[in-house]
A and B are shown apart, each in its own frame.
Chain A
Amino acid sequence: MPLCFTLLKDHLILALPEDGFRNVLFDTTICLALLVPLTCLCSSSVPSKKSTLIFSVHGPSVRTLITMKILVGVKRVVDYAVKIRVKPDKSGVVKDGVAHSINPFCEIALEEAVRLKEAKKASEVVVVSIGNAKCTENIRTALAKGADKAIHVEVDDKTAEKLEPFHVAKSIAELVKRDKYDAVFLGKQAIDDDANQTGQLLAGFLDWPQATFASKVEHADGKLTVTREVDGGLQTVKVKLPAVVTADLRLNEPRYATLPNIMKAKKKPLEKITPDKLGVDLTVQTEILEVTEPPVRQAGGFVEDVPTLVKKLREKGVIA
């Protein structure tokens, strides 16, 4: 009980659902040490299993523990600089022997999570990737860039080809339910399918708020203030944690993985799991009937000078 009394000065909110700690706004590992006395107090004073208790925390050492556990999704995609080729049988694009890397937007999301951790605003950064065995390479890169541990939801090559953002969001939602994260950071879109759906789907599945196309993220008092890149300019919203954030290009400049960090990343924990074990159904809802090349634009050639250009544009009727 003395420990409980020292906890009654500032504001620290603990939500205690039946399955233990959730929405806990400080480091869960440290929290475990407090778990016994806290639950003693709860069971004696609160009969309902699903209630929010307001505790107070005394002393700065405990207050600094009010941080987030962040899950970051990273996708392995064909490198952005590769000029892709469509397979002659129209079943997809050529991926064998083509350079792959982490989707650029995922790198930005990861960088933001790592920066929040460095600023002591986050306690742990976990990366998750869903795909075939080759994803491990990219997961290791993410670990080298500062993630603490990783989860690989492994599927075979064939399944990987048919994964939809819907399935990815469902898998991440299951992991969030299992591991209790305070925030999920994702890129705004993957540069291969260009879908721009996963973050919004995930927020929908979890009933969490969403802050999409983020160009600035600030964390305070259990809320994120996010500046978003919208069609007409910038919009700022405040979302309550837990929340889903998707990163836009201008959120930050991702770091490079250094050699020592690449070596260290090899020792970081990597959990492998299957969608089956997460209870996620991968039934295809959007079947790709065929993939073709876009119509090729013929270059028209050069014009000598500005007057010729204007003359030709007038002939075409595009300018008056």
Chain B
Amino acid sequence: MFAPKTLFFRSLGSLQKRLNSTLVVAEHDDQALGAITLNTITAAQKIGHEISVLVAGANSKKVAEQAAKIPNVKRVLVAEDAQLKDLLPERVTEVVLEAQKKNNFTHILAGGSSFGRGVLPRVAAKLDVSPISDISAVHSPDTFTRTMYAGNAVAKVKSSAKVKILTVRGTAFEASAADGGSAATEAAEVGKLNTEISEFVSQELSKSDRPDLQTARIVISGGRGLKSGDNFKLLYELADKLGAAVGASRAAVDAGFVPNDMQVGQTGKIVAPDLYIAVGISGAIQHLAGMKDSKVIVAINKDKEAPIFQVADFGLEADLFKAVPELTAELSK
């Protein structure tokens, strides 16, 4: 007696499974959508399915409105709960899992930032699938490119996971337009949050009026050659002249010249600006991993043998303490 009904539900179930759709987990600070979310949307478009964006947070409505304006976004799922403030991964994961339970997405994406890297592998474990990090190209819904060995090997990989969980290298995809779309907004389940196991204590964010390192068109980085934190002033002056962001090598961060969030490289930020100026940086493999996709690279170093000159379009063999002020002056002409 129940057979026809069961059959009906079963076919409905399989139908639902075949409806391919992609979820993008938005990054934001309760005020504005994170820039990397727009790059992630572009990657999601290349997969070619209907795109939903999940905005989870304590105060997500305003951000959801911004997400709804992104062209090609079909739906915006809004999960708002005071306990989602500060987006702790243990909590955001629950929201993503609720959304997945309801919608059966075939792909779940987030930007390869500290937020996305924190949340998505945890979601993958819960769904019992192997995730793929930091993709730089989409060939088909199951084939992607990513780099390994500090960018010295490029791997084309094919995922057979039942749900593809991917973090996206922001610099490898253009940012999607922020306006022009009109997605439907709906409330998403928050689920049962385990607030016992982790709590936010505080944060110290570096404040800067200069452009964001990862999205800047021009980046100027300093290394050990700068000799002190004070000497970074030379780079800031040049940066202000060019409207550039300022980065650093690991050596400069380790020596305490500048804070860690300025580090460019394999374990820091990956940048690919139009112009990258490396000042007093030797060019170790690990640093090159973070900037070698820049369109034009300029190196200023007094050591003619420094490896940085092997990737620089324009090398200037000079003492940076003379060359940088001269460059700032020349640009003022």
- A residues sitting closer than 8 Å to B (CB atoms) are 78, 80-81, 83-84, 86, 93, 105, 164-167, 169, 188-189, 191-205, 207-213, 215, 225, 228-240, 243, 248-250, 284-294, 297, 299-303, 305-307, 309-310, 312-313, 316, 318-319
A301 vs B134: C-alpha distance when bound (angstroms)? 32
Interface string of B179-197 (1 = CB under 8 A from A): 0000000000000001011
**Given the contacts A166-B130, A239-B197, A307-B330, A204 and B121 also touching, CB distance less than 8 Å:** yes
A40 vs B162: C-alpha distance when bound (angstroms)? 49
Report chain B residues within 8 Å CB of A292: 153-154, 156
A172 vs B199: C-alpha distance when bound (angstroms)? 25
Asked whether, in the complex, the Cβ of B266 is within 8 Å of the Cβ of A191, the reply is: yes
Report chain A residues within 8 Å CB of B150: 191, 194
**Given the contacts A236-B201, A319-B275, A288 and B134 also touching, CB distance less than 8 Å:** no
Q: Which of B42-50, B54-62, B72-80, B202-210 contacts A (4 or more CB under 8 A)?
A: B202-210
Q: List 12 A-B contacts (CB under 8 A).
A: A78-B149, A166-B130, A188-B267, A205-B125, A207-B194, A230-B115, A234-B260, A286-B159, A289-B155, A292-B153, A294-B292, A299-B311
Of B134, B154, B198, B200, which contacts A294 at CB under 8 A? B154
Interface string of B241-253 (1 = CB under 8 A from A): 0100000001001
B211 interfacial contact with A, CB 8 Å: no
Asked whether, in the complex, the Cβ of B316 is within 8 Å of the Cβ of A302, the reply is: yes
**Given the contacts A86-B153, A286-B158, A313 and B266 also touching, CB distance less than 8 Å:** no
Report chain B residues within 8 Å CB of A228: 114
Q: What are the 5 closest A-B residue pairs judged by CB atoms, nearest first?
A: A204-B125, A200-B121, A166-B130, A285-B130, A300-B313
**Given the contacts A212-B117, A285-B160, A297 and B311 also touching, CB distance less than 8 Å:** yes
Asked whether, in the complex, the Cβ of B260 is within 8 Å of the Cβ of A237, the reply is: no
A194 vs B151: C-alpha distance when bound (angstroms)? 9
A312 vs B130: C-alpha distance when bound (angstroms)? 47
Asked whether, in the complex, the Cβ of B125 is within 8 Å of the Cβ of A202, the reply is: yes
Report chain A residues within 8 Å CB of B161: 285-286
Asked whether, in the complex, the Cβ of A306 is within 8 Å of the Cβ of B327, the reply is: yes
A167 vs B115: C-alpha distance when bound (angstroms)? 23
- Majority SS at the chain A contact face: mixed
Q: Which of B6-14, B63-71, B88-96, B227-235 contacts A (4 or more CB under 8 A)?
A: B88-96
Report chain A residues within 8 Å CB of B118: 200, 210, 212
Expressed in whole angstroms, the minimum distance between the Cβ of B246 and any Cβ of chain A is 15
Most buried by B among A215, A231, A232, A240: A231
A305 vs B259: C-alpha distance when bound (angstroms)? 31
Report chain A residues within 8 Å CB of B250: 249
Report chain B residues within 8 Å CB of A212: 89, 114, 117-118
Asked whether, in the complex, the Cβ of B206 is within 8 Å of the Cβ of A303, the reply is: no
Q: How many residues of B contact A (CB 8 A)?
A: 87
**Given the contacts A191-B266, A204-B125, A288 and B316 also touching, CB distance less than 8 Å:** no
Most buried by A among B90, B125, B126, B285: B125
A205 vs B274: C-alpha distance when bound (angstroms)? 41
Report chain B residues within 8 Å CB of A319: 218, 242, 275, 331
B312 interfacial contact with A, CB 8 Å: yes
Residue of B nearest to A164 (CB): B130
A114 vs B286: C-alpha distance when bound (angstroms)? 27
Asked whether, in the complex, the Cβ of B152 is within 8 Å of the Cβ of A286, the reply is: no
B172 interfacial contact with A, CB 8 Å: no
Interface string of B157-169 (1 = CB under 8 A from A): 1111100000000
Asked whether, in the complex, the Cβ of A239 is within 8 Å of the Cβ of B198, the reply is: yes
Residue of B nearest to A239 (CB): B198
Asked whether, in the complex, the Cβ of B155 is within 8 Å of the Cβ of A288, the reply is: yes
Asked whether, in the complex, the Cβ of A287 is within 8 Å of the Cβ of B154, the reply is: no
**Interface members, chain B 284-320 (any A CB < 8 Å):** 285-286, 292, 295-298, 309-318
A293 vs B203: C-alpha distance when bound (angstroms)? 40
Residue of A nearest to B202 (CB): A236
**Given the contacts A210-B89, A236-B201, A318 and B296 also touching, CB distance less than 8 Å:** yes
Interface string of B115-159 (1 = CB under 8 A from A): 101111111111001111110000000010001111111111111
Asked whether, in the complex, the Cβ of B124 is within 8 Å of the Cβ of A166, the reply is: yes
Asked whether, in the complex, the Cβ of A233 is within 8 Å of the Cβ of B204, the reply is: yes
A96 vs B90: C-alpha distance when bound (angstroms)? 40
Expressed in whole angstroms, the minimum distance between the Cβ of A261 and any Cβ of chain B is 26
A166 vs B163: C-alpha distance when bound (angstroms)? 14
A231 vs B115: C-alpha distance when bound (angstroms)? 8
Asked whether, in the complex, the Cβ of A318 is within 8 Å of the Cβ of B295, the reply is: yes
B254 interfacial contact with A, CB 8 Å: yes
Residue of A nearest to B112 (CB): A196
